[in-house]
């Protein structure tokens, strides 16, 4: 990392850490260059502790291990700098296409490792049981949000996607209540309207499923269910590849939860395609 990393660990609640665990945090503060690439052994050496202490420190802070905490610190750093600084941070590549594919492969692997089976099952159950589902995703994150709403509706779910904000967002949220679900897809920096929408939905009795890249951020704190998806790209923008892959997994689970309804809805959709001459082949 080329930018100023000061303050990137300030959000961590270190209350209750042992003295050796606190040394791990101190080492990260003194040596922020450890955050993007160092393995457990290197962090342990700088903190003068054993490898297991680094792992236990991350777990004491609510993470699965050092790689999970490392990813979170990196994601937070990228929210602290401008888009231009992000572009400079990533530099240039001989083969941008291959580098982008490599980064997305890393994001996919981390998504697989970060989300437990229990978290995934709980998210699918919330979707499958919801009376009405509203998917919120704006800007670059419209992509996975649109996929979820489009394919979910084809399977017979009462699901819509709202990407406009403002009065449109207010009108979409207004009917929600007990038994309904808001899916909040907000990666990188927290979007104020989406954060307010999640709070309003919960106040009305609806539940919130957040798909985000920072476990301890505002988006996750406003949700009943949280799935973590790394979003770092190779330029000034965030990648939605892992988020889209996760959405496809959720859709497969939604189909499996109501197979007969899904098949009947698919048959009706196919009939409408034919009647409307949508596809030529």
Q: What is the CATH number of the domain that holds 139?
A: 3.40.50.10490
Pair 121, 237 in one domain: yes
Q: Evaluate whether residue 191 is within a structural domain.
A: yes
CA–CA distances in Å: residue 222 to residues 189, 193, 194, 218, 279: 15, 13, 10, 6, 42
Q: Taking the CB of residue 27, how many other CB atoms lie within 10 A of it? A: 22
Token couple for 199: 């709070």
263 vs 89: CA distance, rounded Å: 48
Along the 281 residues of the chain, how does pLDDT read in single tens digits?
A: 445 555 778 888 899 999 999 999 999 888 877 887 788 999 999 999 999 999 999 999 988 899 889 888 888 887 776 766 666 666 676 788 998 999 999 999 999 999 999 999 999 999 999 999 999 999 999 999 999 999 999 999 999 999 999 999 999 999 999 999 999 999 988 888 999 999 999 999 999 999 999 888 888 888 999 999 999 888 888 899 999 999 999 999 999 999 999 999 999 999 999 999 998 87
Give the global pTM.
0.80
Pair 118, 77 in one domain: no
130 φ/ψ angles, rounded to the nearest 5 degrees: -70, 140
What's the total number of domains in the chain? 2
Q: Evaluate whether residue 6 is within a structural domain.
A: no
Pair 196, 267 in one domain: yes
């Amino acid at each position: 990392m080329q930018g100023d990393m000061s303050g990137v660990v300030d959000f961590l609640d270190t209350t209750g850490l042992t003295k050796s665990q606190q040394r791990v945090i101190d080492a990260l503060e003194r040596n922020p260059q450890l955050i993007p690439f160092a393995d457990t052994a290197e962090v342990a050496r700088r903190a003068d502790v054993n490898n297991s202490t680094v792992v236990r420190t991350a777990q004491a802070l609510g993470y699965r291990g050092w790689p999970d905490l490392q990813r979170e610190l990196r994601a937070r750093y990228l929210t602290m700098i401008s888009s231009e600084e992000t572009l400079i941070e990533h530099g240039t590549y001989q083969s941008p296409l291959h580098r982008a594919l490599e980064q997305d492969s890393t994001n996919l692997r981390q998504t697989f490792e970060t989300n437990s089976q229990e978290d995934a099952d709980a998210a699918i159950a919330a979707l499958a049981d919801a009376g009405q589902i509203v998917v919120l995703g704006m800007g670059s994150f419209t992509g996975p949000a649109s996929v979820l709403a489009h394919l979910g509706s084809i399977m017979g779910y009462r699901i819509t996607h709202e990407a406009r904000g403002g009065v449109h967002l207010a009108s979409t949220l207004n009917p929600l209540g007990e038994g309904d679900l808001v899916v909040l897809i907000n990666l990188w920096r927290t979007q104020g309207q989406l954060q307010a929408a999640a709070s309003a939905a919960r106040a009305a009795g609806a539940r919130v499923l957040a798909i985000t890249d920072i476990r301890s951020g505002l988006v996750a704190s406003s949700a009943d269910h949280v799935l973590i998806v790394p979003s770092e790209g190779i330029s000034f923008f965030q990648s939605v590849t892992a988020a889209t892959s996760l959405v496809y997994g959720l859709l497969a689970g939604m189909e499996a939860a109501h197979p007969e309804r899904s098949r009947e809805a698919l048959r009706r959709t196919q009939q409408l395609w034919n009647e409307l001459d949508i596809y030529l082949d």
